[in-house]
Amino acid sequence: MAPVVPRRRSRLVTLAVAVVAGLTPAVLWALPAQAAAPLYTALGDSYASGVGTRTYYSDGTSCYRSPYAYPVLDANQIGASLTFAACSGAKVADVSNNQLASLSSSTNYVTLTVGGNDAGFTSVITQCAKPWPYTCWGDIDNANNYIRNTLPGTLDTLYNKIRSRAPYARVVIVGYPRLFNESDCQSLSRISPGEQAALNDTADLLNQTIQARAVAHSFPFVDPRTAFTGHAVCDSIEWINGLSDPIMESYHPNRTGQSSGYAPLIKNTMLSTMAAADKA
């Protein structure tokens, strides 16, 4: 004999069955599916790969990609799936030939820091660091001439390739900090205050050139110079390494430079660019 269900309870059970049977499909249809992680590709040179942070992935390359580099920090912050293509020593041609494979119409974000190696900035600083009577004025002039006359065209070609491969991505172009506070504090490197001032001027020219080409392609430009002011080599709180051991760590942002200097600026630009695109 079937158990007797009280009349009030029976009505409640019937109502519940009706809700589940009749309304659940509509409710499930209305619920949004969990969004997939946005796809983010980080391109560029040692400033993007994280040289200077002293900890690197063992990925079978000599790219010195660091878990403390701004691409990793920002990918974690925005919940993105990162393709970390940036590589130490990369020039514009290296990015163009070796780093664009992951870009596609599905790519959501691209960041790029490149141009310093094309201008020979590392070799110029190395020459400046040699003891007297060596000087680097001619090397600085050569770098400036390259930045003015050759770099713009190479950047245009690269930016066109990025846009062609990732037509819907938010592409953020990232510049370089000024390295020096123009004081004579590192006896081993022997870069004079005058040479430091000239190198800072070259950094300004490099940023201005990169920014002009970025704007011409409608790419936002992140200028880190203001954020790094007061945190140059020889400042009381350095975000940039001075002459270091091993030598490759020299004159690159340290972990704080990446996390407090670069990462917040780039993340905010990526998200503000996304918000502007969503409103368009």
pLDDT at 18: 41
Q: Is the pLDDT of residue 171 over 70?
A: yes
pLDDT at 185: 72
pLDDT at 20: 40
Q: Which of 121-132 are b and which e, b meaning 16 or more Cβ less than 10 Å from the residue's Cβ?
A: bbebbbbbbeee
Q: Is the pLDDT of residue 279 over 80?
A: no
pTM given for the model: 0.85
Q: What is the per-residue pLDDT across 22-66, written as a single tens digit (0 to 9) for each? A: 443 433 344 455 678 999 999 999 999 999 999 999 999 999 999
More confident residue, 255 or 278: 255
Catalytic residues, by residue number, are 46, 252
- Helical H segments across the chain, by residue range: 7-30, 46-49, 70-78, 92-98, 121-128, 137-149, 151-165, 193-216, 225-228, 255-256, 263-279
Instruction: Write the burial class of residue 54 (CB in 10 Å: 0-12 exposed, 13-18 middle, 19+ buried).
Output: middle
Q: What are phi and psi of 106, to 5 degrees?
A: -90, -10
Q: Do residues 270 and 172 touch, judged by C-beta distance below 8 A? A: yes
Q: What is the per-residue pLDDT across 229-253, written as a single tens digit (0 to 9) for each? A: 999 998 999 999 998 999 999 999 9
More confident residue, 206 or 5: 206
What are 220-223's contacts with CB under 8 Å, separation 24+?
A: 220/171, 220/172, 220/173, 220/269, 220/273, 221/172, 221/173, 221/174, 221/175, 222/172, 222/173, 222/174, 222/175, 222/262, 222/265, 222/266, 222/269, 223/175
Q: What is the per-residue pLDDT across 173-225, written as a single tens digit (0 to 9) for each? A: 999 999 999 887 765 567 888 999 999 999 999 999 999 999 999 999 999 99
In the chain, % of residues over pLDDT 70: 84
pLDDT at 276: 46
Q: Is the pLDDT of residue 10 over 50?
A: no
**Cα–Cα distance between 139 and 125 in angstroms, integer?**
9
- Which residues lie below 8 Å from residue 222, measured CB to CB, with a gap of 6+? 172, 173, 174, 175, 262, 265, 266, 269
The residue with tokens 């000239």 is 198
Spatial CA neighbour of 259 closest among 104, 53, 64, 91: 53
* Residue ranges covered by each domain of the chain: 37-275
Q: Is the pLDDT of residue 4 over 50?
A: no
The residue with tokens 């590709």 is 41
Using left for φ > 0, alpha for ψ between -120 and 50, and beta otherwise, residue 52 falls in left
Q: Do residues 65 and 50 touch, judged by C-beta distance below 8 A? A: yes
**Cα–Cα distance between 164 and 167 in angstroms, integer?**
6
In the chain, % of residues over pLDDT 90: 74
Q: Do residues 254 and 238 touch, judged by C-beta distance below 8 A? A: yes
Q: Does CATH number 3.40.50.1110 belong to domain 37-275?
A: yes
pLDDT at 273: 62
Spatial CA neighbour of 264 closest among 80, 78, 83: 78
Q: Is the pLDDT of residue 121 over 50?
A: yes
